[in-house]
Chain A
Amino acid sequence: MRATRSGNTGAYEALLEDIGRTLRVLVGRKLSRLGMGTDQTEDIVQEALLGLHMMRDRWDDSRPFLPWLHAIVRYKIGDAMRKRSREARHRCDVTLDELSDVIAAPDPGDRHMPDMDRALAALSSGQRDVVSSLAIEGQSVRETAERLKTSEGAVRVTLYRALQRLTAFADPGPGYARKGKS
């Protein structure tokens, strides 16, 4: 981290890789102990790294780095896990609502919006905010960052991950095919 401060980008990348490796093991173990699927491990690791990245300038370099890192990562991981268990319930609600929307839809010609809503429902709430702000409301990255009170970098990273998830949604693997799509 000290090397990063003096402008050594390679050191920063190596540091993040290092932390990422340790976290992967840690988070995986934690998830399985809580009886949750370990398929979210990588997401949570990324969230923790992102949190660290956003706060990197706030570390006081006259203080030891490791306790600081430890506290931040513990907070981010705890936060991510709480959000997961809350969102698991929330996402179920959304699906039910949409199901009834689709059933009640009188005009089969207007297929565009439900499809989009359904795709957006595959995103986490943070990703949804970013995507709808950028792509649907047409705001700029800067405006979005200001409105969501985060940095432009974070918005870009969120968008990047959201797009990956949307791609996976639009091109589902076997067993994921939706009926009625011509």
Chain B
Amino acid sequence: MRSAQDTSALIRSLAHEAAEEEPSQGLRFNRLLMLAAGFSLLLSIALALGVFGIRPNLPAVLAGAPFLFKFATMLLLAAGGLALVRRAGEPGTSSSGWMMLIPGFLVLAMGLALDSSGFPLLGRHGGAVPSCVGAIVLLSLPALAAGLGVLKRGVPVQPLRAGLAAGFLAGTIGGAAYAFVCTNDGAIFVAAWYGLSVLLVALFGAVIGRRILVW
């Protein structure tokens, strides 16, 4: 059992330490988070193109509506994810960042409503679903590591939620990167399997976050 005098002694030693140590310099949490997200997106795109190969008609694909739909949806959701991670790593900010996900989901819903291609849910060939989900999860791992790393330098007061947010952000970044090599152009395919992949990475992030983000 400690006494109040004891706490005063502790406070004095902490104040002493604060006076001796230089305040640690470094990038602010926000800036760091933006940098980490940007770099991991570029890295994942490079990885996707490196592993799956650059299609000869890539410029045409990148100008096409299906790619733009996939990429825009994922980027908008990633922007919402960024806002969530930012809130998770800075205590005292309002906790309801879920509104930031609305634009991404709106575009996704619009794509679903406007899609009349009749593209099969399970993709062009039998292996489409596992390869798509597997690829997105793998492509999101750099972003997940970066996101959790940045959160460790912030002040996460809800480790599980912070991990969930980092996982969501990473999953959407992986999805955005995979869009460069994805040949399945149906909105339903994107909603179902990109969605599942993002969910998986988000849950993974939550599990890890709960372990490593406590302090």
Using CB atoms and an 8 Å cutoff, list the residues of chain A in contact with chain B: 4-5, 7, 9-10, 12-13, 16-17, 20, 24, 39-40, 42-43, 45-46, 49-51, 53-58, 60, 63-64, 66-72, 74-75, 79, 153, 156-157, 160-161, 164
Cα–Cα, bound, A178→B3 (Å): 25
Contact assessment for B11 and A13 in the assembled complex, using a CB-CB cutoff below 8 Å: yes
Of the residues B15, B214, B215, contact of A16 by C-beta under 8 Å:
B15
Cα–Cα, bound, A79→B159 (Å): 11
Q: Of all chain B residues, which has the CB nearest A10? A: B15
Of the residues B17, B18, B92, B215, contact of A70 by C-beta under 8 Å:
B92
From known contacts A12-B15, A13-B12, A54-B215, infer whether A45 and B7 are also in contact, taking CB-CB under 8 Å. yes
* B165, chain A: closest CB distance, angstroms: 15
Contact assessment for A58 and B92 in the assembled complex, using a CB-CB cutoff below 8 Å: no
The answer to the question of B154 belonging to the interface, with a C-beta cut-off of 8 Å to chain A, is yes
Q: Looking at chain A's contact residues, is the secondary structure mostly helix, strand, loop, or mixed?
A: helix
Of the residues A49, A63, A74, contact of B11 by C-beta under 8 Å:
A49
Report the contact-size class of chain B (Cβ under 8 Å from the partner).
20 to 34
Of the residues A20, A51, A53, contact of B7 by C-beta under 8 Å:
A20
What chain B residues lie within 8 Å of A58 (beta carbons)?
29, 153-155
The answer to the question of B127 belonging to the interface, with a C-beta cut-off of 8 Å to chain A, is no
Contact assessment for B12 and A51 in the assembled complex, using a CB-CB cutoff below 8 Å: no
Contact assessment for A13 and B3 in the assembled complex, using a CB-CB cutoff below 8 Å: no
Contact assessment for A17 and B8 in the assembled complex, using a CB-CB cutoff below 8 Å: yes
What chain A residues lie within 8 Å of B155 (beta carbons)?
55, 58, 68, 72
Using CB atoms and an 8 Å cutoff, list the residues of chain B in contact with chain A: 1-4, 6-8, 10-19, 21, 23-24, 28-30, 90-93, 153-155, 157-158, 214-215
What chain B residues lie within 8 Å of A46 (beta carbons)?
2, 6-7, 10
Q: Of all chain A residues, which has the CB nearest B94? A: A67
What chain A residues lie within 8 Å of B15 (beta carbons)?
9-10, 12-13, 16
Contact assessment for A72 and B91 in the assembled complex, using a CB-CB cutoff below 8 Å: yes
What chain B residues lie within 8 Å of A55 (beta carbons)?
155, 215
What chain B residues lie within 8 Å of A16 (beta carbons)?
11, 14-15
Q: Of all chain A residues, which has the CB nearest B24? A: A57
Q: Of all chain B residues, which has the CB nearest A79? A: B214
Contact assessment for B14 and A50 in the assembled complex, using a CB-CB cutoff below 8 Å: yes
What chain A residues lie within 8 Å of B14 (beta carbons)?
12, 16, 49-50, 53, 153, 157
Contact assessment for B18 and A53 in the assembled complex, using a CB-CB cutoff below 8 Å: yes
From known contacts A12-B18, A13-B15, infer whether A157 and B92 are also in contact, taking CB-CB under 8 Å. no
User: 26 interchain pairs (CB within 8 A)?
Assistant: A4-B18, A16-B11, A20-B7, A20-B8, A24-B4, A39-B1, A42-B3, A42-B4, A50-B14, A55-B155, A55-B215, A56-B18, A57-B23, A58-B153, A58-B154, A66-B92, A68-B91, A68-B155, A70-B92, A71-B91, A71-B92, A71-B157, A79-B214, A153-B17, A160-B13, A164-B6
